Structure 1
Amino acid sequence: MTARAAHRVEVSRLVPVGAEAAFERVADPRNHPRWIPLTRYDGPTAAPAPGEAFTMVSGPGARRGRRGFVDRMTVLEHVTPSTARAAVGRSVLRKDGPALIGTAGLDVVPVDEHRARVVWWEETRLAGPWPRRLNEAAVGLFLRGMLALALWRFGREVTSGGRG
């Protein structure tokens, strides 16, 4: 019996900034709480490198240090893009639980010197004995909305010349 491929949810956005600059900002999980509501980053002070773990905590009091939904991750891959070589940048994370398992990532595709396409994707489901198809469909609906909001906020930030 062949294992079924994971259900993939992805959202993309064209941003008015070069691929290298877009990747540096969007692939650094320390920045994600700016775009993902009610979320804080717990991890290394520097951006985590391949093999390093970090945690995102989400919930109404998470940003004030309270407990919330814990999402532990390990960086598997971090390859910077190159506009000159037309090379796609990629960051891949393993979701380590306790609630979510699977993989997630960001691909940054150079368009030209001043634009890039950012693709944020997840192949994630809830851990536990839930029926896989139903699980992935339900989690996918939530993730699609969250990813769309995060990329919209990221796009607004880089368009306005905000933090960086």
Structure 2
Amino acid sequence: MTAPGTTAAHRVEVARVVPVEASVAFAWVADLRTHPRWMVATRLQSPAGHGPELGDRCTMASGPGARRDPGSTLGRLVIVDRMVVERLERPSTAAARVGRTRLRKLGRVLLGEAGFDVVPMDAGRCRVVWWEEAWLAGPLPRAVTAPLVGLALRGFMHLSLGRLARALDRRR
């Protein structure tokens, strides 16, 4: 139940079983530098440090023109997403411990949170859950923009997790 005066979160969640051990999948989803390798129409616009660490900051550009136009930040339907890593817990298949990341979106275009949960299944498989609670910064209220952002995100997330699964399968 939502407290009076607050807006209910609009969470979008997509999951996929991938054919690798949880620590391998976690390395790919937690390290922001790997995201352009498997996220559809995404490029890393500013560095994310030297590996997944709390406090890492980065800027991603996503959209139809993101890969074609590396010099542009906003043209061709490109959304710039500035983020900081706020949670980073590595998984353990032996201890059946779920790996978790959480990123806070820092605004200009998108606000909210996003993250990945990597659930160990066995020595050769895990379930990657990508979730986002995001909305547009700006004059329209969160209650209006969150469902619209969620619609776009759901398709983007499905396609991207499929690419992640194929990339990880090729590495076996």
Q: What is the TM-score of this pair, normalised by structure 2?
A: 0.87
SS at 2:135's partner residue?
strand
Looking at structure 2, the residues matched to 119 and 38 of structure 1 have their Cα atoms a distance apart, in angstroms, of: 20
Provide the C-alpha distance between the structure 2 equivalents of 1:96 and 1:117, rounded to a whole number of angstroms.
28
1:56 corresponds to: 60
Cα distance change of structure 1 residues 61 and 22 upon mapping to structure 2, 3 Å threshold: closer
Query: Which piece of structure 1 moves more, 12-21 or 131-140?
Result: 131-140
- Extract unaligned runs of 5+ from structure 1: none
Partner residue of 1:47 out of 46, 51, 55: 51
Distance (Å, rounded) in 2 between the aligned partners of 1:44 and 1:148? 24
Corresponding position of 1:66: 72
Instruction: Pick closer, same or farther for the CA change 1:82–1:72 going to 2, 3 Å.
Output: same
Aligned position for 1:38? 41
- Bigger mean CA deviation after superposition, 129-138 or 56-65: 56-65
Q: TM-score, normalised by structure 1?
A: 0.91
1:106-150: CA deviations, max 9, x gaps?
A: 000000111100000000000122133321111000000111111
1:138 aligns with 2:148: yes
Q: Secondary structure at the match of 1:147?
A: helix
CA distance in 1, matches of 2:6, 2:156: 28
| Separation in structure 1 between the aligned mates of residue 7 and residue 62 of structure 2, nearest angstrom | 29
Indicate the SS of the match to 1:56. strand
Separation (CA, whole Å) in 2 of partners of 1:25 and 1:108: 11
Asked whether the 8 Å contact 1:8–1:123 carries over to 2, the reply is yes
1:61, CA displacement in angstroms? 5.0
For structure 2, the residue ranges without an aligned partner over 5 or more in a row are none
Once the two structures are superposed, the pairs formed by residues 4-153 of structure 1 within 5 Å of their partners are: 4-41=7-44, 42-59=46-63, 60-62=65-67, 64-68=70-74, 69-153=79-163
**Over the residues paired in the alignment, what is the CA RMSD in angstroms?**
1.7
Name the SS for the 2:151 alignment partner: helix
SS in 1 for 2:53: coil
Shift of 1:103: 0.2
1:2 is displaced (CA, Å) by 4.9
Kept in 1, the 8 Å contact 2:32–2:48? The answer is: no
Residue 111 of structure 1 contacts residue 117 of structure 1 at CA under 8 Å; is this kept in 2?
yes
Identity of aligned residues (%): 51
